C-alpha cells in the first residue's frame, strides 16, 4: 500500500538529541526511526521497524537456508535454570531480576542457552535426532551500567541467537563452520563490512569463540590485526612472554628519594638526571613498574583488592582486565579501600608491600585442607615481568622509589594477568608480525560451547550402543538492532542517512515540489505506478511543506532513490532521479520514469 507523508507517523527533528554522541544515534532519532523511552531503551517507530524487519528477514532467510529451525522463547524466565548453570551469580548486576507475587525469582533473559537446552532435553532422547540447529529472534535485557550510543549499547536489544546440538566435537565443528559461513553471507547481503577476530568466551563459556566486528571509529571493541593474518579482539590477545633475563650484572636494589615525581614521565626524567644506569643506557618508561590497585566483586558479593604490576609505558586496559577476572566485577580501588589497607601507599606502591613479598602474608588451610595465602593483597604482574628483569618502582614510602629491583631475586608475584593495553607494533602472538589497532562494533559472536550447559542441565541422548552421551553445543548470536546502528554508521553523510536498498524502509521517495496541480497529479500517478510494480514508495504529498523542507527530509530519511517532480515537468517534460548514495542526478522523461526507476531499484536489490 502506498505510504503518503501527509498521513505517515513520521516527524523529523532539526536538532540532535542532547544525549546523542554518535552519528547513528543522532540520525535515527532525528529521522524518526527510534525514540528514547529510558536510558538504553528505545521505542521503534514505523520507519525504524520497517528497516529492522528487513534486517531480520535477511537473517531468517540465511538461517533457514542453513537448516536452522525458528522457535521463540519468552523473555521473562524462571531463575532455576540460570542458577543451575551458575549464570544467576556470574552475570552479577547486569542481570535484570525480579520476583512474582509469590516470591518466586525470575529474570529478563540476557541470552537463552538454558531454555534451548531444556527444550531439547524435553523432546529429544536419541542420537538419531541430532544434529540439530534452532534459532530465534528475541528481545534481550542487560542492565548496562553506562548505556550509550543509542542502539549500539542498550539495556534492551534485539538479538538472533541460535544453538547447535551434536553428539561429538567433530559434529560441533561442522555446525560451528556452517554458522560461520552463514554469518558471512548475512553480512555480505546487508552490505556491512566485517572482520572476524578471535575472542574471549566470557560468561558464555566454551572452548573457542570468534567475533564479527564492523570496523568503525565509534566501536567499543578494540581489535588487532597483523599483516600475517592474525586478528583478535584486544581482550583475547596473549602477550608473547620474553625469555628470562640475565641479572648477574645488576647491582643490589637501592631506595632513593624522588621528590616531585608524580608521574611516570617525571620519574624517568629524575632518575636519568640523578641516578643514571650503570650500563650507560637511559632509563625509559618501560623500565618502570607501575602498580595499580583494583577492587574485584566476586559472585556472591565478596570484595577483594588486587594489585597489578605493568610496565610504566602501558596503562591498564579495563576491558582486558574485566575479561581476565570474569565473572568478577572490577573497578579502581576507592579511598575506603586504601584506608582499610594502610600498607598500600598510594602512588608509591611497590612489590614489597603486596603478594608473597608482604610481611602480612600468612598461610592457612581452607575447607579442602589446602594451604592458601591470606593477609596480604594478592599481586599479579604483566607477562613481560619475567625472571631477571630489573625495575624502577615504588618503595612504599612517599616520594621514594627503589631502583634495580629484580624479579625473582628481590620480589615475586602470585601469578601473571593479561591486563595491560596493547600498543601498536606489539608482536602478534603467532609470530605473524607487528600488530595494528582498530576499533569496531560487535555485530556477531559465535561460541563452541561444548558441554557446559548440557552437563549442568542434564541434556544427554542415547548413542548407537544405548549408552547416555552428554550433548555438545554451540551458541551463535547476531545483534540485530546493533546491526541496524552499524548500517547507519556506515551509510550516512552530513545531511542524513543513506540506506542500502536491501534494508531501506522504502526503496523510493517521491517528492512533489510545487503548487501546480499538474505536479501533484504527476507525482501521485508515478508513485502509484511504482507501488503497483512492487516498489516500496514513500510519497511526500505534503501541501504546506516547502520544497526545501522536502529535500532536507528526503536526505535525512535516506531512501536509496528520490524522484523529484517539480518545475522541469512543465519546461522539459522530465522528472529528476537522485541516487542518495552516489549523489548522481538524472533527468528522465515522465513517460519513461516508472520503468527506469523500477530497473534501478531491482538492480540495487540484486
In the block, residue with C-alpha cell 540439530? 132
375 with 361: CB under 8 angstroms?
Answer: yes
pLDDT level of residue 408 (50, 70, 90 thresholds)? very high
State the cell numbers at 166. Answer: 551434536
Question: Which pLDDT tens digit goes with each residue over 527-576?
Answer: 999 999 999 999 999 999 999 999 999 999 999 999 999 988 988 889 99
Question: Which pLDDT tens digit goes with each residue over 335-384?
Answer: 999 999 999 999 999 999 999 999 988 877 777 777 777 778 999 999 99
Q: What is the mean pLDDT of residues 172-179?
A: 97
Among residues of the chain, what percentage have pLDDT more than 90?
Answer: 87
Residues 6+ apart with CB under 8 A from 453: 85, 113, 114, 117, 205, 459, 473
pLDDT level of residue 207 (50, 70, 90 thresholds)? low
State the cell numbers at 514. Answer: 510545487
CA atoms within 13 A on the CB side of 293: 27
Cα–Cα distance measured from residue 486 to residue 212, given in angstroms and rounded to the nearest whole number: 12
Which conformational region is residue 256 in: left (phi greater than 0), alpha (psi within -120 to 50 degrees), or beta? beta
- What b/e readout covers 321-355, taking b as 16+ CB neighbours within 10 angstroms? bbbbbbbbbbeebeeebbeebeebbeebbbbbbbb
**pLDDT at 173 > cutoff 90:** yes
Question: Which pLDDT tens digit goes with each residue over 449-470?
Answer: 999 999 999 999 999 999 999 9
**Which of 574, 544, 539, 575 lies closest to 557 in space, CA to CA?**
539
Question: CA angle, corner 113, sides to 190 and 126, nearest 5?
Answer: 110
Q: What is the β-pairing status of strands 76-78 and 105-108? A: antiparallel
pLDDT value at residue 145: 86
Residues 6+ apart with CB under 8 A from 71: 116, 119, 134, 135, 136
**pLDDT at 306 > cutoff 80:** yes
Cα–Cα distance measured from residue 211 to residue 228, given in angstroms and rounded to the nearest whole number: 19
Among residues of the chain, what percentage have pLDDT more than 70?
Answer: 99
**Which of 584, 558, 427, 569 lies closest to 501 in space, CA to CA?**
558
pLDDT value at residue 361: 85
**pLDDT at 206 > cutoff 80:** no
pLDDT value at residue 505: 98
**pLDDT at 111 > cutoff 80:** yes
Cα–Cα distance measured from residue 147 to residue 141, given in angstroms and rounded to the nearest whole number: 12
Question: Which pLDDT tens digit goes with each residue over 122-159?
Answer: 999 999 999 999 999 999 999 998 898 999 999 999 99
pLDDT value at residue 366: 73
Q: What is the mean pLDDT of the chain?
A: 94
pLDDT level of residue 305 (50, 70, 90 thresholds)? very high
Cα–Cα distance measured from residue 251 to residue 447, given in angstroms and rounded to the nearest whole number: 50
46-66 vs 480-490: helix axis angle to the nearest 10? 110
CA dihedral 270, 274, 275, 277 (to 10 degrees): 80
Looking at 193-317, list the stretches that DSSP marks H as alpha helix, in order from N- to C-terminal side: 264-274
Q: What is the mean pLDDT of residues 193-221?
A: 85
pLDDT level of residue 280 (50, 70, 90 thresholds)? confident
pLDDT level of residue 202 (50, 70, 90 thresholds)? low
Question: Which pLDDT tens digit goes with each residue over 468-523?
Answer: 999 999 999 999 999 999 999 999 999 999 999 999 999 999 999 988 889 999 99
**Which of 254, 248, 219, 224 lies closest to 236 in space, CA to CA?**
224
Q: Give 288's strand partners.
A: 392
CA dihedral 102, 104, 106, 112 (to 10 degrees): -130
pLDDT value at residue 6: 95
476 with 161: CB under 8 angstroms?
Answer: yes
pLDDT value at residue 178: 98
- Quick one: the chain helix, strand, coil %, rounded to 5? 30, 30, 40
**pLDDT at 205 > cutoff 60:** no
pLDDT value at residue 488: 98
Q: pTM for the whole thing?
A: 0.88
pLDDT value at residue 90: 84
55 with 157: CB under 8 angstroms?
Answer: no
pLDDT level of residue 301 (50, 70, 90 thresholds)? confident
User: How long is the chain?
Assistant: 606
pLDDT level of residue 287 (50, 70, 90 thresholds)? very high
**pLDDT at 248 > cutoff 60:** yes
Amino acid at each position: 500500500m502506498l505510504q503518503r507523508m501527509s498521513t505517515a507517523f513520521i516527524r523529523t527533528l532539526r536538532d540532535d538529541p542532547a544525549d546523542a554522541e554518535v552519528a547513528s544515534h543522532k540520525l535515527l532519532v532525528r529521522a524518526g526511526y527510534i525514540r528514547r523511552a529510558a536510558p538504553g531503551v528505545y521505542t521503534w517507530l514505523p520507519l525504524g521497524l520497517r528497516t529492522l524487519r528487513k534486517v531480520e528477514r535477511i537473517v531468517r532467510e540465511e538461517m533457514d537456508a542453513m537448516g536452522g529451525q525458528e522457535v521463540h522463547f519468552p523473555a521473562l524466565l524462571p531463575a532455576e535454570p540460570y542458577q543451575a548453570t551458575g549464570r544467576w551469580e556470574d552475570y552479577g548486576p547486569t542481570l535484570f531480576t525480579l520476583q512474582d507475587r509469590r516470591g518466586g525469582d525470575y529474570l529478563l533473559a540476557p541470552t537463552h542457552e538454558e531454555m534451548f537446552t531444556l527444550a531439547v532435553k524435553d523432546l529429544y532422547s536419541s542420537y538419531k535426532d541430532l544434529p540439530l540447529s534452532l534459532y530465534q529472534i528475541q528481545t534481550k535485557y542487560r542492565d548496562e551500567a553506562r548505556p550509550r550510543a543509542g542502539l549500539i549499547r542498550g539495556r534492551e536489544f534485539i538479538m538472533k541467537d541460535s544453538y547447535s546440538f551434536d553428539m561429538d566435537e567433530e559434529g560441533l565443528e561442522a555446525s560451528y563452520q556452517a554458522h560461520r559461513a552463514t554469518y558471512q553471507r548475512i553480512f555480505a547481503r546487508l552490505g556491512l563490512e566485517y572482520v572476524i577476530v578471535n575472542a574471549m568466551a566470557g560468561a558464555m563459556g566454551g572452548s573457542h569463540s570468534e567475533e564479527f566486528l564492523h570496523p568503525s571509529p565509534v566501536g567499543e571493541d578494540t581489535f588487532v590485526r597483523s599483516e600475517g593474518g592474525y586478528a583478535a579482539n584486544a581482550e583475547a590477545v596473549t602477550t608473547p612472554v620474553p625469555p628470562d633475563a640475565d641479572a648477574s650484572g645488576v647491582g643490589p636494589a637501592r631506595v632513593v628519594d624522588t621528590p616531585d615525581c608524580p608521574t611516570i614521565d617525571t620519574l624517568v626524567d629524575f632518575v636519568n638526571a640523578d641516578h643514571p644506569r650503570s650500563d650507560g643506557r637511559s632509563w625509559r618508561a618501560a623500565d618502570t613498574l607501575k602498580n595499580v590497585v583494583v577492587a574485584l566483586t566476586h559472585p556472591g558479593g565478596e570484595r577483594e583488592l588486587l594489585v597489578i604490576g605493568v610496565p610504566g609505558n602501558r596503562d591498564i586496559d579495563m576491558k582486558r582486565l574485566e575479561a581476565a577476572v570474569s565473572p568478577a566485577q572490577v573497578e579502581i580501588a576507592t579511598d575506603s579501600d586504601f584506608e582499610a589497607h594502610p600498607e598500600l601507599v598510594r602512588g608509591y606502591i611497590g612489590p614489597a608491600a603486596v603478594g608473597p613479598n608482604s610481611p602480612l602474608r600468612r598461610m592457612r588451610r581452607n575447607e579442602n585442607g589446602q594451604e592458601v595465602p591470606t593477609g596480604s593483597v594478592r599481586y599479579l604482574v604483566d607477562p613481560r615481568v619475567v625472571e631477571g628483569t630489573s625495575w624502577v618502582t615504588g618503595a612504599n614510602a612517599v616520594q621514594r622509589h627503589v631502583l634495580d629491583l629484580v624479579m625473582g631475586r628481590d620480589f615475586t608475584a602470585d601469578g601473571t594477568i593479561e591486563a595491560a593495553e596493547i600498543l601498536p607494533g606489539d608482536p602478534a602472538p603467532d609470530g605473524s608480525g607487528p600488530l595494528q589497532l582498530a576499533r569496531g562494533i560487535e555485530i556477531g559472536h559465535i561460541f563452541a560451547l561444548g558441554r557446559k550447559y548440557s552437563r549442568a542441565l542434564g541434556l544427554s541422548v542415547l548413542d548407537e550402543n544405548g549408552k547416555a552421551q552428554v550433548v555438545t553445543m554451540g551458541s551463535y548470536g547476531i545483534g540485530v538492532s546493533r546491526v541496524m546502528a552499524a548500517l547507519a554508521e556506515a551509510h550516512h553523510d552530513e545531511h542524513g542517512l543513506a540506506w542500502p536498498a536491501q534494508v531501506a524502509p522504502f526503496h523510493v521517495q517521491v517528492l512533489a515540489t510545487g503548487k501546480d496541480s499538474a505536479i501533484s497529479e504527476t507525482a501521485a500517478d508515478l508513485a502509484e505506478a511504482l507501488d503497483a510494480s512492487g516498489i516500496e514508495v514513500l510519497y511526500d504529498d505534503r501541501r504546506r511543506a516547502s520544497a526545501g523542507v522536502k529535500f532536507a527530509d528526503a536526505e535525512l530519511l535516506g531512501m536509496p532513490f528520490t524522484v523529484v517532480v517539480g518545475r522541469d515537468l512543465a519546461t522539459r517534460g522530465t522528472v529528476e532521479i537522485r541516487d542518495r548514495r552516489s549523489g548522481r542526478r538524472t533527468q528522465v522523461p515522465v513517460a519513461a520514469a516508472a520503468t527506469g526507476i523500477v530497473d534501478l531499484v531491482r538492480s540495487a536489490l540484486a
